Amino acid sequence: MAESQEIRRNVWLSDAGGLRYHLRALQHRRRRWQVFRDTVAAWFAAWRPPCDRLVLVGPSAGHTLPLARMRGFSEIVALEPDPIARRWLAWRARRLPLRFDGIDVLSGDTPLSALQTVFPDAAVLFCNVLGQVAPAGGGHWHERLADALAGQHWASYHDVISTDVRPLAGAGPVSCDTRRLETVLERFWPGGRLALVDHETFRLAGPSQPADYALWPLGPGRWHLIEWVVHRPSGGIGRGADRSALKPPSGP
């Protein structure tokens, strides 16, 4: 069912980052995006990591973040390189214990490793960013997460695919434990071949972990399928996936 195209890399002009993204948010955030924003808020509310600090990786200006639900954290650290987004997010989160940090955790020879080094006791939320950038040196984020954050609480919502093809009428959020992307796509689009961009993030927390999916109608004629996954470390605080589970899905 999937027919891949090359992912666009221009951050400033991409549909889900930079200036074009901010303009789309101004136009669609309160109407076209409202159902998706409510879904993200529900996902976040159900997460509840047992941590006092929260690190937001790539939050942009918080256009889809449920900021009101983050008041229980004693400190929130935002890792966001876009200066326009930082100012906007600071205003939106002015009642939260928010601060910014300039550390880059997505690039370099060992991406994500700084999260464990600098914020070992924090929960980490990847804010629709891992489907927009690829790991330095190649590979997939599945392996990098397994290596760097096995002992940490983290969650992510991210692009799985994006397409110009209209989804099925009434297709709403679903939970799936399938290892086949095609099975998930059939819940949102008619059968047959589907022209899409594959962001290579399917089942990002590993094939043994459940995942949730929802449509994000980014703009007229453009839809993104968003995945939500949660990792809870085995041992220590919390319960859940162990390191061996954080691998890309394989097989039917």
> What is the C-alpha to C-alpha distance for residues 80 and 92, in angstroms, rounded to an integer?
14
pLDDT in tens, 175-224: 999 999 999 999 999 987 899 999 999 999 998 888 999 999 998 999 99
Phi, psi of 182 (to 5 degrees): -60, -35
DSSP state of 245: G
Q: For the CA atoms of the chain, what is the radius of gyration?
A: 17
The confidence band for 8, taking pLDDT boundaries of 50, 70 and 90, is very low
Which pLDDT does position 145 carry in this prediction?
95
Q: Read off the pLDDT of residues 53-83 as tens digits, 9 standing for 90 and up.
A: 999 999 999 999 999 999 999 999 999 999 9
Share of the chain above pLDDT 90, in %: 69
Average per-residue pLDDT for the chain:
86
* DSSP line for 57-115: ES-TT-SS--GGGGTT-SEEEEE---HHHHHHHHHHTTTS-EEE-----SSSSSTTHHH
| 2-245: CATH number | 3.40.50
Range 235-247 average pLDDT? 38
* Across 116-131, average pLDDT: 96
pLDDT of residue 63: 93
| Domain coordinates in residue numbering, the chain | 2-245
pLDDT score of 138: 85
User: How far is CA 42 from each of CA 66, 102, 203, 228, rounded to the nearest angstrom?
Assistant: 9, 29, 19, 11
**Average pLDDT for 5-11:** 39
